[in-house]
Amino acid sequence: MTCLPASQPGQKKLGLVIDLDTCVGCQACATNCKEWNTSGMSAPLPDFNAYSAGAEGVWFNRVHSFEAGVGAAGKTVHFPRSCLHCDNAACVTVCPTGASYKRAEDGIVLVDADKCIGCQLCAWSCAYGAREFDEDAGVMKKCTLCVDRIYNENIPEAQRKPACVVTCPTGARHFGDLGDPESDVSKLVAARDGYALMPELDYQPVNRYLPPRAHVVPEQGKPVEDAPTPMDIKSGLLRWMDKVLTR
């Protein structure tokens, strides 16, 4: 079962598209994910040393910030990082027990906590640091793409998306079928030149990131006129006197 499912034509690949041009780094995805999942199918997500030094917990979503480029010409980028639900998921194939698996029906990579022996090899094999070891329970946990939300009939249909997507205030996170070229997310990726992380590893992530838009380089925009002379200013004021204004 830790063999990856054979990919069918038109294979459904549920995943996220994260717009780095829009993400302001507010951490909503991180904490909403935490509150959903700490009582979700991977419950609980423990926090160690919760009120002292060395506080750290299990989180499925972590938001980094980076600076790309130098000085004012550069860009600060907030960068949410979570499981990419790779097509070629090494975390699945390395699993010795079959606990880690990729679903044939929608491509979600999950861990069966009852089978996990806690060898942590999947964490070693994940290039992106998406695996989260619950050192209390001794089992590996990870982003489930909110599999207990997205098909949940007790949730209004509009909200049947991963918690991080529903809560994102800027709408920087999108959810859908990246296997379907006609889906909204696929079109968005095509339109915005979306990309996969670390393609050189050939893990073939499903999730895509949309790059920050090319921004204005100061003073390379349209030309502006020369600095004015004092004469211009004087005449400007005089001209106001002749303006005819009505209500």
Partner 1 sequence: MKPAGSIVFFTVASGAGYGLLVWLGLLAGTGLLRITVGGLLLAQGLALALVTAGLCSSLLHLGHAERAWRALSQWRSSWLSREGVAAVLTYLPVLGAAAAVYAGAYPLAVALGVMGAVCALATVYCTSMIYASLKPIKEWSHPLVPAGYVVLALFSGAALLAPLLALLGGDSGMPALQVLIFGALAAGLKWQYWRSIDTARPLATLESATGLGRIGATKPLDPPHTQSNYLMREMGFRVARKHANKLRALTLWGGLLAPAGLAALSLGAASPMVAALPLVLGLLLAVAGMLLERWLMFAEATHTVTLYYRGN
Partner 2 sequence: MPGAEPQIDYSPKLGDEVKTTTCYMCACRCGIKVHLKDGQVRYIEGNPDHPVNKGVLCGKGSAGIMTQYAPARLRAPLLRVGERGAGEFKEISWAEALDIATGWLGKVRAEDPRKLAFFTGRDQSQSLTGFWAAQFGTPNFAAHGGFCSVNMAAGGLYTIGGSFWEFGEPDWELCKYLLMFGVAEDHDSNPIKIGIGKLKARGAKFVSVNPVRTGYSAVADEWVGIRPGTDGLFALALAHELLRTEQVDAEFLARYTNAPWLVVRNPGGADDGLFARDADGKPLAWDRARGAIAAATPDLSAVLAGDYLLADGRKVVPVFQLMAERYLAPEYAPEAVAATCGIPAARIRRIAAEIADVAFNQAITLDRPWVDVYGRHHATMVGRPIAFHAMRGISAHSNGFHSCRALHIVQMLLGAVDTPGSWRYKSPFPRPIPPGPPPAGKGARPNTPLVGNILSFPQGPDDLLVDDAGTPLRIDKAFSWEAPLGLHGMMHTVIANAGADDPYPIDTLFMFMANMAWNSAMNPGEVIRILTEKRENGEYRIPHVIYSDAYFSETVPYADLILPDTTFLERWDAISILDRPIGSSHGPADSIRQPVVQPDRDVRAFQTVLIELGARLGLPAFTKEDGSPRFKDYPDYLANHERAPGVGPLAGFRGPNGDKKGVGEPNPDQLQRYVENGCFWRHELPPEQSYFKHANAAYLKDSKAMGLIPNENQIVMQIWSEPLQKFRLAAQGHGAKQPPEHLRARVERYCDPLPIWYTPLEQQMHDVSGFPLSAITQRPMHMYHSWGSMNAWLRQITGSNKLYLARERGEAQGLVDDDWVWVTSRNGKLKCQVKLMEGVNPDTVWTWNAIGKRAGAWMLTPDSPEATKGFLLNHVISEWLPAQEGFRSANADPVTGQAAWYDLRVAVEKCAADEVPITEPQWATLTPPDNMPPAPDMLRYTVGVKP
Task: Check residue 53 for interaction with partner 2 (CB under 8 A).
Answer: yes
Judged by CB under 8 A, the stretch of 49-57, 146-154, 163-171, 222-230 that binds partner 1 is 49-57
Task: Check residue 63 for interaction with partner 1 (CB under 8 A).
Answer: yes
Looking at the chain, the number of H-run helices and the number of E-run strands are 7, 11
Q: How far apart are CA 189 and CA 161, in angstroms?
A: 18
To partner 2, the closest distance from the beta carbon of 201 in angstroms equals: 26
Question: Applying CB under 8 A, which of residues 19, 106, 132, 177 lies at the interface with partner 1?
Answer: 132
Task: Check residue 24 for interaction with partner 2 (CB under 8 A).
Answer: yes
Burial of 162 (0-12, 13-18, 19+ CB in 10 A): buried
The residue among 148, 102, 128 whose CA lies nearest residue 1 is 102
Judged by CB under 8 A, the stretch of 120-128, 174-182, 194-202, 226-234 that binds partner 2 is 226-234
- The interface with partner 2 within residues 139-168 (CB under 8 A) comprises 147-148, 151-156, 158-159, 163, 166-168
Neighbours of 7 (CB within 10 A): 14
- The interface with partner 1 within residues 135-164 (CB under 8 A) comprises 135, 137-140
- The interface with partner 1 within residues 203-242 (CB under 8 A) comprises 203, 209, 211-212
Helix (H, G, I), strand (E, B) or coil at 175: strand
The residue among 125, 132, 99 whose CA lies nearest residue 113 is 99
Q: Identify what 10 binds: partner 2, partner 1, none; CB under 5 to 8 Å per kind.
A: none
In sequence order, the β-bridge partners of residue 173 are 18
- The interface with partner 2 within residues 187-206 (CB under 8 A) comprises none
Helix (H, G, I), strand (E, B) or coil at 19: strand
